[in-house]
Structure 1
Amino acid sequence: MSWVFMIGAVLSEVSATLTLKSAATGRARLYAVVLIGYVLAFVFLTGALRTGVPLGVAYGVWTAAGVALTAIFSRLIHHEPMTPLMIAGIGMIGAGVLLIELGAGH
């Protein structure tokens, strides 16, 4: 169940961040969606912590997956750049999260 909470936290945060771009470019009503997304992200993150995910692992997965997914989806939705160096960075983020998870040894 803890990883269901983690997935919820990541997807809520990414959705809120992607919506923030649209809200900031003239669609002020979308700020309500942004607020709900961030609140849900923290609710889900709290659920993950309560079900036993160590804080370092939870925060690492949440932020790293959020950065990687936001970069990928901002390319698809907002047509922002995705350079080979950015792709390498996303790969390194994934490797870093994997190392944190393996190092936690739980």
Structure 2
Amino acid sequence: MIIGWILLAVAIILEVAATISLRMASVGGSRWWYAGVAAAYLVSFSLLSLTLRTGIPLGVAYGIWAATGVALTALAGRALFKEKLTRKMLLGIGLILIGVLLIELGSSYA
């Protein structure tokens, strides 16, 4: 059971890393960044697939993967690239966290 959550956590981290790498590649970085983007997304999706094999329901796994990825990417954009993070955006991140919690608490898996 715990292995599924570990796989999901690593999948989320890799998805965020891929998105950050995409930002690096798009602002004049080396073309090699795109290789990192592709590799990280590929491994992230593979780990998400393995997560589902452990028995974590699709709605729970994908909901947490997508929502957490969005929130972490927004925070990483602020920290790494000094991108704007408004109060409304912070409220949105808070609502994402509440939504993920409700999905988890509402599933029969937990």
Q: Normalising by the residue count of structure 2, what TM-score does the alignment of the two structures yield? A: 0.94
Which residue of structure 2 aligns with residue 17 of structure 1? 19
Partner of 2:46: 43
Q: Any idea what the Cα deviations from partners look like across 1:57-88, whole Å, max 9, x if unmatched?
A: 01100000000000001101111001111111
Does residue 98 of structure 1 match 2:101?
Answer: yes
- Give CA deviations for 1:3-57 in whole Å, capped at 9, x if unaligned: 0010011000000001100101112220011011101111110111000110000
TM-score, length of structure 1 as denominator length: 0.97
Matched residue type, 2:62: Y
- Mark the runs of 5 or more structure 1 residues left unpaired by the alignment: none
Identity of aligned residues (%): 47
Stretches of 4+ moved more than 6 A in 1? none
Q: How many residues are treated as equivalent by the alignment?
A: 106
The residue type equivalent to 1:2 in the other structure is G
| Match for residue 86 of structure 2 among 83, 87, 90 | 83
Instruction: State the partner residue of 2:34.
Output: 31
Unaligned runs of 5+ in 2: none
CA distance in 2, matches of 1:77, 1:29: 19
